Structure 1
């Protein structure tokens, strides 16, 4: 019997914080039809003519703040998790790490699995909640490549793990050590997505944004809905920490463009809380398994500055799963049993 192949995939990172590399990354990322899901011609004009040329230099400055002597935190933690899960799974498995955009690439990782003559491949996107623009894009890219192979091994895909007990416990444990510091409120800030992408996932056509509190609980109609899964993740972490509903708010960050995105927006929640006299915020970001630009910079610096300008005093980020041994245990269970 040959080995079982495991492909773990995260979103990606520029190869360096230089403007050229950041532009290259943004171009590949934003030209993905599942990320900016509009007419291809309009997407090309928007991305190549406006966003990449003008946003590239600004984003490069932000990536320089994020960068460490070892490189991008997303890739650093990715490599550590890759090594740890290889050791955990043992010799019966061949594990590869890839990024959806840039390096290490999905085509190269799949080629290594092919050359290893694995009997099967399980694709594990490292996104707890399903979204077409993240998990769906990884699945799409893998199928695009593998369909050209003459011999295609058994292939399976993990769709999501938003309610995995092991993952929930790690997030809760990371937050628990801060809870005795007298927070006025707790935020669960997830990455945002356009509302149109939520509607596209609703195959019933009668649920998304049409039913009151359509995302508050998981149902047959919204079981693949990103926001419904985000809500469930936050609820489970809150339950683990014994938080009542009045103690926390679920919100969405990283909005791009003028179209309506899933709400409430994190920036608007900060304004509302500051207006109510809230001074100290503890923030979880459970859409990310690794700390990255969206957590380390966007929450810890940009939102912290916004909140202080509004009269707040402190924003504390709860670190992500990163390379916590308990997360490696949970990931092993996800790989073996999902």
Structure 2
């Protein structure tokens, strides 16, 4: 290493998690998360009343109960897998890099992660939002917060962002490897790729011209829709299916976790479960390729809630492919992403 260039910094950023699975901490987390103007993109006054007077007070107790299902002896999987990935990536990148972990909401904060890199006197910072598919409410929000904080520094180093890795071959391969163990044990009637949803208006805001129709336009991926979240989700699903030899008519792409009464991107996962039962699908293998760590949306929502709904509708078996977590190939994937961006 040329010491004159100094070490490079890597900031891994995931969404976030409450500090504890109780109502006060969950309420605090929800308020910070949902008050982000990129998450709920309505005027501030309306957003403040919606979040602080309706959503946080009434949703926090229910969400806390869900988080309690997720919590284990190490705490929140999203946080401790993040810590594991940080440490493993640090070993892979050796002394040329300093790797820090942050959460967009709650702890460890982006401010603390950036401060750690600043104190290490890094020559540049590579920000890796841990969201495979770009969305303004996730990746865009991370970039927004990083720039808000760094612009106050006297000396601003070179900063690079990895905006998406939805079609990265190694990312696809990790998921495929996770799925193969299930497919070797069971014959599934159908496969579901369930992604976190977004309001349709957010997709339309990012549309290039009249490209986005929220329909079959997402089946093709090209320059004009490369940052369309929905198109990226279809792309990731298509590549995983091809890797596993799953025919097009045997898998479905759908979206979960919608909030409020405004239209969110479709099809909706919960509605597809009913359709699966009507079509006679008895065994389904589910994927959650929008998340790199086990979390509330994967383990509880897809792994438990959707399983219960599917079985109640007449299904017989529902399995969930684990998230990437600390898989060795996932660490190698991150290493390659960083080295490519740093070159």
Q: TM-score, structure 1 length as denominator?
A: 0.98
Please list, as runs of the form range in 1=range in 2, the aligned pairs for 1:87-98 lying within 5 A after superposition. 87-98=91-102
In the alignment, is residue 196 of structure 1 matched against residue 201 of structure 2?
yes
1:246 maps to: 249
Q: Which of 162, 167, 173 is matched with 1:169 structurally?
A: 173
2:325 alignment partner, one of 322, 325, 331: 322
Aligned pairs for 1:18-57 within 5 A: 18-57=22-61
1:36-77, Cα deviation, whole Å (9 max, x unpaired): 001111100000000000001110011111100110000010
Task: Measure, in 2, the Cα distance between the counterparts of 1:76 and 1:184.
Answer: 34
**For 1:150-186, what per-residue CA distance to the aligned partner results, in whole angstroms no more than 9, with x for missing partners?**
1000111111000000010010010011113011100
> After TM superposition, what 4+ stretches of structure 1 lie above 6 angstroms from structure 2?
none
Please provide the CA RMSD for this pair: 0.9
The secondary structure found in structure 2 opposite 1:336 is: helix
Distance 1:129 1:43 in 2: 25
- Corresponding position: 1:101 with 2:110: no
Q: Secondary structure at the match of 1:58?
A: helix
1:274 aligned to 2:282? no
Q: Write out aligned runs for 1:109-258 (5 A).
A: 109-180=113-184, 181-204=186-209, 206-209=210-213, 213-258=216-261
Aligned mates of 2:73, 2:246 — CA distance in 1: 38
**Counterpart-to-counterpart distance in 2, 1:336 and 1:37:** 34
Matching residue of 1:81? 85
Question: Structure 2 stretches of 5 or more lacking a match?
Answer: none
Q: Which structure 1 residue ranges, 5 or more long, are not aligned?
A: none
Structure 2 Cα separation of the partners of residues 128 and 38 of structure 1: 25
Q: How big is the shift at 1:288?
A: 0.4
Q: How many angstroms does 1:213 deviate by?
A: 1.1
Is the counterpart of residue 262 in structure 1 residue 265 in structure 2? yes
Alignment partner of 2:316 out of 297, 313, 317 = 313
What CA distance in whole angstroms lies between the structure 1 residues aligned with 2:237 and 2:52?
36
Secondary structure of residue in 2 paired with 1:221: helix
SS class of match (1:122): strand
CA distance in 1, matches of 2:268, 2:10: 36
* Larger deviation, residues 215-224 vs 8-17: 215-224
SS in 2 for 1:215: helix
* Distance in 2 of aligned mates of 1:236 and 1:122: 26
Number of matched pairs: 336
- Tell me the TM-score normalised to structure 2 length: 0.97
